[in-house]
Amino acid sequence: MFSPLGGLSIKLQSVKLKKSEFDLERDLLRSELLPWVPISVDSTPARAFIRTEAPIDGTEVVEWMHYSAADAAVFDGMCEEYNRLGSQLLSGSGDGYIPGVRVGDLRNVSVRGSTVVGRGYGEVSTPQGVFRVPRGGKSTFCMKDLLAWGALPWAGYVQYSLTLLQWRGLARAPVSRRARFAGSSGFVAPNFISVATRIPAPMSTMRIGLTSNKPQTVAIRGRGTKGAFQDVLFEDSFDIEAGESEAIYNVFGFPFAPAFTLELQPKDGTSTILDYLDAFP
């Protein structure tokens, strides 16, 4: 697929299932914030575990705490895995009304849960503008030098649960350690990787290794580099089976394939892990 914005074109060379078995814990990291919560890619199993450890009593423990604690555990683990790649991903989960959620350059616009329910979304303020996170949904915000994501899985009359991510430094290909695509009650976050050839070349080959717990379609986008994250240079998608799969793309540019930011977005309702990503030459 060609885009005149970046002079890039891509072609899917192959997708293959390498192994039908899958492991959703190998080489993943426990949350340092909540180390007593078992490793999970999505927050739903984590929330079930937290519910048994700290049942709702209507006084000290209420419903939004379970949603936010489960998100905090899985997204903190995602940050630990991404940051060991030499990058900086920040996360935070909590009640968007009281006491509010702030992550890096992101902060929620504090309103009551009834306002979120009535209009259907919460708002997040950033140096590059305000973006909306739908109630019972998620939103990705890419503008200039800012990459952000939010999920709002639950809202009540007063409180609501909000999770925010900000990529302040990008992991660079090659990636050889596993990193999860954390999910907030099934709403799966993307991951962003900086991709560039090691030497100038008109074509590069990109290998993407993924583990998935079920068949799904993975969406990819090539975005501009820092300062131009809003520019979409190419878009595509590919299907994978449950297990460990590898997708291989050829990336073309003239006179040379330029550096770009790769956005990988698994399907909602899946548990997906990035096993590796390489670009060569």
List the structure tokens of 129: 């503008």
The single-letter code of the amino acid at 129 is: G
Q: Residue 3 pLDDT more than 80?
A: no
Q: What is the pairing mode between strands 171-172 and 191-195?
A: parallel
The pLDDT value recorded for residue 25 is 97
CA–CA separation, 70 vs 82, rounded Å? 19
Question: How would residue 255 be classed by pLDDT, with cut points 50, 70 and 90?
Answer: confident
Judge contact between 143 and 127, C-beta under 8 A.
no
Bond prior to 174 in cis (omega within 30° of 0): yes
Please name each of the domains of the chain with its CATH number.
2-22+170-280 (2.60.120), 43-169 (no CATH)
The mean pLDDT of 111-122, rounded to a whole number, is 98
Phi, psi of 135 (to 5 degrees): -60, 130
Question: How would residue 254 be classed by pLDDT, with cut points 50, 70 and 90?
Answer: confident
The mean pLDDT of 177-191, rounded to a whole number, is 98
The mean pLDDT of 222-240, rounded to a whole number, is 97
CA–CA separation, 258 vs 278, rounded Å? 15
The mean pLDDT of 142-155, rounded to a whole number, is 98
The pLDDT value recorded for residue 200 is 80
Judge contact between 90 and 44, C-beta under 8 A.
no
The pLDDT value recorded for residue 198 is 80
Q: Residue 125 pLDDT more than 70?
A: yes
List the structure tokens of 107: 């902060």
Chain segment 40-91, per-residue pLDDT in tens: 999 999 999 999 999 999 999 999 999 999 999 999 999 999 999 999 999 9
Angle at 125 between CA 121 and CA 127, to 5 degrees: 150
List the structure tokens of 103: 């992550």
The pLDDT value recorded for residue 202 is 84
Helices (H), 91-219: 113-119
Judge contact between 267 and 220, C-beta under 8 A.
no
The pLDDT value recorded for residue 2 is 37
Q: Residue 219 pLDDT more than 70?
A: yes
CA–CA separation, 215 vs 110, rounded Å? 38
Residues 6+ apart with CB under 8 A from 85: 171, 172, 175, 177, 179
